[in-house]
Amino acid sequence: MFKKTLVTVVTLTTVLVAGHVYAQSCGGTIVSDNDCTSNNRPYAESCCPSGYRVQGVAYNDMNKSDYVDAVSAVCRHVVKGNDMMPTDFQTAPVTHVCEKVEVMSGISCKDMPGKGSGHNSDILDGCTANCMNPTSKQTRMLYSADLAGNGRPYVTHTIDLPNRIVGVLYKDGDWKGDYVGGSDRADCATVSYKYQPIVQ
């Protein structure tokens, strides 16, 4: 399925720190996500090119469906201020991007609500960005009309300055779905980060 020509499927590297092993992506440490940890599929990573920083998150739904197909970082040029996405989406993406005076401090996602049977779904419904003003330290989660009517709780992963988000990652489901051995529907998402003081 053509959807992520520039998104890399990660062969994870690991770093050993004080007896703990931390998976790496986009040059930073992956924030652990319980849903992703229990999923044996590889991460698909979205990293910003040189001269850009992660400023938001984007995702698209599968054709004629509300299931998430792919998730991407939204990258902003640190000098020119233009935005780009290192992902080719098959359908128009939903984007949530922090203001220019803010930095992206995290990601908040919801799984799909249950249908009829009362059993909740494990398929990703969507994600939004968490933003921080580095001067005032005020934080906010960007409103998502797509997720507002979903009663499921947010799963949120945030980092604190001077750490900076350097990548957005997701996994497709490892349940039986669109092809033998797995699904093409997104299961979970998280971020990677590294120590990176803000230069005024």
CATH number of the domain at 122, please: 2.100.10.30
Structural domain includes residue 73: yes
Which single residue is written with the structure tokens 């989406």?
Answer: 89
Structural domain includes residue 89: yes
Structural domain includes residue 86: yes
Nearest to 105 by CA among 156, 150, 159, 59: 159
Structural domain includes residue 3: no
Task: Supply 192's token pair.
Answer: 């990677």
pLDDT in tens, the chain (200 residues): 434 434 444 444 544 444 444 689 999 999 999 989 988 899 999 999 999 999 999 999 887 678 899 999 999 999 999 999 998 888 899 999 999 999 999 999 999 987 654 556 788 999 999 999 999 999 999 999 999 999 999 999 999 999 999 999 999 987 655 444 446 789 999 999 999 876 54
Which single residue is written with the structure tokens 């529907």?
Answer: 185
Structural domain includes residue 2: no
Number of domains in the chain: 1
Structural domain for 72, as ranges:
8-195
pTM: 0.83
